Homo-oligomer: A and B are copies of this chain.
């Protein structure tokens, strides 16, 4: 027994022809007697179909790639993408190859070399070009969370403007006007949208956005921390009475600064987090936050991919837009200046 068993081994054990055996493994009609003989041989040999041969022959791999930004960043979100897609795809017999973007050579090429049937991606700016090329080659691509300019393909995204609007609404309702935003840069579509949503929401309430209260930077806890520090400490200006964070890492960093600086929430400052499921219950007080249906996003993406894989013709660019909701905590209250008026 040198290598793995093959059809030939089964043939020798059963005396049946290769085509009969193949048919057995591919759902064809096989005589009952032969079916049993084959199953017997399979069990005895510990036979496993050779996917390489099958894939080579079929021209498909029954594998899709998941491309994520560097793992340093918004971990929980990425994990739920892997988890959600894996579960659905596996139930269809499709495997998941994971690759991180940003690295050179591109993760897209790495996945292409592994002959994935499609790619589900949270596109990092550095991989947009390769993804665009993949789409041009008719490789099924489903974008998650972030859109790419001039690329026409399936996507599942959040209604980002709405997500920020509900946060702003909640704060304005409490009487806040000096509301700050800690957000990522325009390089990434989702954050561009969230910043735009912030602007829109303020204007809708008749509040003129103040550039100094909008801090844009990398999606890291470090930047979130820094932003709070400079908003609440360094400036000569009157500090904001409320802060909205546009991402989970930024939220963590912001809350870290709040704890370290001893800022009293919500008395001195109201805070609304984003995707803060993991930390909302352990902060004092529990965080009010924007909750993105991460799991559902992943599952919708998997469904889109499956549909595309099953029906080559349907290469239309569908965009599924989902909405976030606010999860109530105790980190927002009326601004301290307004309390005497009450």
> Quick check: is A22 within 8 A (CB to CB) of the other chain?
no
Which of A3, A50, A109 has the most C-beta atoms of chain B within 10 angstroms of its own C-beta?
A50
Interface string of A119-155 (1 = CB under 8 A from B): 0000000000000010001000000000000000000
A55 at the interface (CB under 8 A from B): yes
What is the CB-to-nearest-CB distance from A243 to chain B, in angstroms, rounded to a whole number? 14
Tell me if A255 counts as interface (CB < 8 A to partner B): yes
Contacting pair A259 B286 (CB below 8 A): yes
Asked whether A157 is an interface residue with its Cβ less than 8 Å from the other chain, the reply is: no
Q: How far is the CA of A140 from the CA of B112 in the complex (A)?
A: 26
Known: A97-B63, A98-B82, A100-B86. A51 touches B281 (CB 8 A): no
Q: What separation, in Å, do the CA atoms of A96 and B252 have in the docked complex?
A: 30
How many copies altogether?
Answer: 2
A109 CA / B282 CA spacing, docked (Å): 39
The reply to whether A282 and B279 contact each other, CB–CB distance below 8 Å, is yes
Out of B79, B99, B252, B283, name the residue touching A86 (CB < 8 Å): B99
List the B side residues contacting A86 at CB < 8 Å: 71, 98-100
Interface residues of A (CB under 8 A from B): 3, 46, 48-53, 55-56, 59, 61, 63, 71, 75-76, 78-80, 82-83, 86-87, 90, 95-100, 103, 109-110, 112-115, 133, 137, 221, 252, 255-256, 259-260, 278-279, 281-286
The contact sample of 27 A-B pairs, CB cut-off 8 A, is A48-B112, A48-B113, A50-B56, A52-B61, A56-B56, A71-B80, A71-B82, A78-B79, A79-B79, A82-B98, A86-B98, A86-B99, A86-B100, A87-B100, A90-B99, A90-B100, A90-B110, A95-B97, A252-B281, A252-B282, A256-B281, A256-B282, A259-B281, A278-B279, A279-B279, A282-B283, A283-B283
